[in-house]
């Protein structure tokens, strides 16, 4: 399957944030973006895609970052369940930034990953929590 060079999600603006999937403006530095998001009172999580060399590693990075329980099964259903049962959630504005995501984008798991993130965003929105995932 061929994918466009960049996802077709809108650019994210921390000052006018709504739940959803977004991209980082190509000209924007990830470091500056993370700083602005923290200043806008987001609880910020950064997934560094360069650390991800396989699907198993992707699952492990998520488990470590979000402190999934020890029984986490390292599969898509388990990721979905854990993302919707996050004990770490302390505020009502959560930003997840996934930088250097291109390797996963070229993998057949990309659509599944985006579906899982979309479902989690919708779930948390119903709970009154603004969750945005930004691909940069």
pLDDT in the model for residue 8: 63
As a whole number of angstroms, the distance between CA 136 and CA 115 comes to: 18
**How are beta strands 93-99 and 20-23 bridged, if at all?**
unpaired
Would you say residue 123 has pLDDT above 80?
Answer: yes
Q: How confident is the model at residue 4 (pLDDT cuts 50, 70, 90)?
A: very low
Domains in the chain (CATH in brackets) are 14-135 (3.30.370.10)
pTM for the structure as a whole: 0.86
pLDDT tens across 87-100, in order? 656 778 999 999 98
HEC readout, 66-90? HCCCCCCCCCHHHHHHHHCCCCCCC
Q: Where are the alpha helices (DSSP H) in 1-136?
A: 30-39, 55-66, 76-83, 102-105, 110-126
Q: Whole-number mean pLDDT of the chain?
A: 86
What are all long-range contacts of 4-8, with beta carbons under 8 Å and residues at least 24 apart? 7/105, 7/135
Edge-first strand listing for the sheet containing 130-135 = 20-23, 130-135, 93-99, 43-48
* Other CB atoms within 10 Å distance of the CB of residue 108: 9
At 59-89, the pLDDT tens digits run 999 999 999 999 999 999 999 999 998 765 6
């Amino acid at each position: 399957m061929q994918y466009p060079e960049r996802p077709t999600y809108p650019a994210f603006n921390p000052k006018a944030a709504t739940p959803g999937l977004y991209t980082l403006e190509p000209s924007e530095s990830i470091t500056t973006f993370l700083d602005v998001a923290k200043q806008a009172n987001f609880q910020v999580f950064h997934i560094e895609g360069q650390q991800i060399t396989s699907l198993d590693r992707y699952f492990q990075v998520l488990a470590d970052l979000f402190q999934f329980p020890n029984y986490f099964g390292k599969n898509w259903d388990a990721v979905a369940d854990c993302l919707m049962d996050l004990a770490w959630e302390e505020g009502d504005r959560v930003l997840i930034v996934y930088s250097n995501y291109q390797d996963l984008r070229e993998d057949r798991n990309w659509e599944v990953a985006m579906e899982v993130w979309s479902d989690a965003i919708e779930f948390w929105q119903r709970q009154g929590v603004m969750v945005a995932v930004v691909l940069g």
